[in-house]
Structure 1
């Protein structure tokens, strides 16, 4: 696989969210952790992973200014994250690594491991962390989990569109994103037999991702995260407090 391009999603969704309001900033990507903006921390991790070309999907003036300071390329966002990814994929081609600006604890080693662990021949990879790993890393943290036969999983905001065929999966990603708290709806889109397997508790997450890919004529694969911290992002002010505490312990 050739060197991937990375895309960081940092678009606005209307009014300022609760994190931006608490911090009195225009966008949560500008919140500070250990003296760095969330966006700078994410871009630093991507560069630590050896990724040279980085796109930032942003429309907030202050975020765009920060993205330029960090020597990245700005891509105007489209409707919804998946629309923005589609726009970035058109510009970069494959492989394209996708993450978010609020992935404040992202590490270059995780990114390299994610890319290395993607099975040979896969068109798209999706990183998720098992609940046990998340709870071991951040005891008491409240995350959203998808429940399947092989346990409960939390998304890690890491996707790899490895081949040109991965373009077919962007629409599926939109569907998963819309129904991430309703996994039965995700299963329903895969057909009656898959839905039946899900309700019987026989459908693993890996099987669900593979079957979803097959319906889109792509090879899609789960890539389990080894560190539960990979599932931690900043959706709420409490998340930011948690991230600051973790980052401060690391720095210490």
Structure 2
């Protein structure tokens, strides 16, 4: 099995991040969840997974991470490389792909996903590789999330047959994936607006989705064809996979989930 290269995005977007400010830390990735900085949790999950060969941490905050007690170990870990990134997430990814042309396939995830665990990675990686496409995107169906957390609010992409939210998991399997990354650069600042994201693939696809003419798979096939690449959606059966931490309500929910996991582990070991 070819080991994956994980790109771990841990940068700050321009301006003051309100969540980081609320917790008195300079970078969102250092916000503590369950008693530990989010970045430390995600980095540990990635570096301990058997399918991941190395982790490339992309951030503007190398010195801050190296000095923080929760994340200092990252700078010394032999399987983690820390590389500087600018203010654009998509730009950082594109630059990393250019620096590491032999690194494909790449797994991409973010530091604000402290609930990420081995089960989620297992549920995504195997089917994403098996899809045989240039890009694969992890998604959670609305029905899956609301069955477990009916009060949770997400940004939904709506298609015929269901609505989906992103799981902050992407597989960039071939160099053709750079086409999708470059498109993302044009819409990154409006990533929370579903119609804007879909509209970037052209008016016909936007109209088809708006009228519920396309399933998720059908929309991705058409979008990939327009970009000269192939794409697949990997639906994850794990509600927590789409719960990242952007706001205080997310932080409270993630803390509650991590506390429950800790209790479950303690019960099993007792």
1:80 matched to 2:84: no
1:142 matched to 2:153: yes
Output one character per residue of 1:78-133: Cα deviation in whole Å (capped at 9) or x when no partner: 34111011112123331111100000100122112211112442111001100111
- Do 1:49 and 1:109's aligned partners in 2 also have CA atoms closer than 8 Å? no
Equivalent residue runs for 1:1-252 within 5 Å = 2-50=2-50, 51-60=52-61, 61-65=63-67, 69-70=73-74, 71=77, 72-92=80-100, 93-118=103-128, 119-175=130-186, 177-252=188-263
With structure 2 as the length reference, what TM-score do the two structures score? Answer: 0.86
Q: CA RMSD in A?
A: 2.0
Unmatched 5+ stretches in structure 2: 264-270
**Alignment partner, residue 266 of structure 2:** none
Q: What secondary structure does 2:155 align onto?
A: coil
Q: CA deviation at 1:184?
A: 3.1
Q: CA deviation at 1:181?
A: 3.7
Q: Distance in 2 between matches of 1:53 and 1:161?
A: 15
With structure 1 as the length reference, what TM-score do the two structures score? Answer: 0.91
Q: Distance in 1 between matches of 2:247 and 2:143?
A: 22
Q: Distance in 2 between matches of 1:164 and 1:59?
A: 25
Q: What secondary structure does 1:98 align onto?
A: strand
Output one character per residue of 1:12-43: Cα deviation in whole Å (capped at 9) or x when no partner: 22333121112111112112223321011101
Q: CA deviation at 1:177?
A: 4.1
- Do 2:131 and 2:232's aligned partners in 1 also have CA atoms closer than 8 Å? no
Stretches of 4+ moved more than 6 A in 1?
none
The alignment covers a number of residue pairs equal to 252
Unmatched 5+ stretches in structure 1: none
Please identify, of 237-246 and 134-143, the stretch whose mean Cα deviation from structure 2 is larger: 134-143
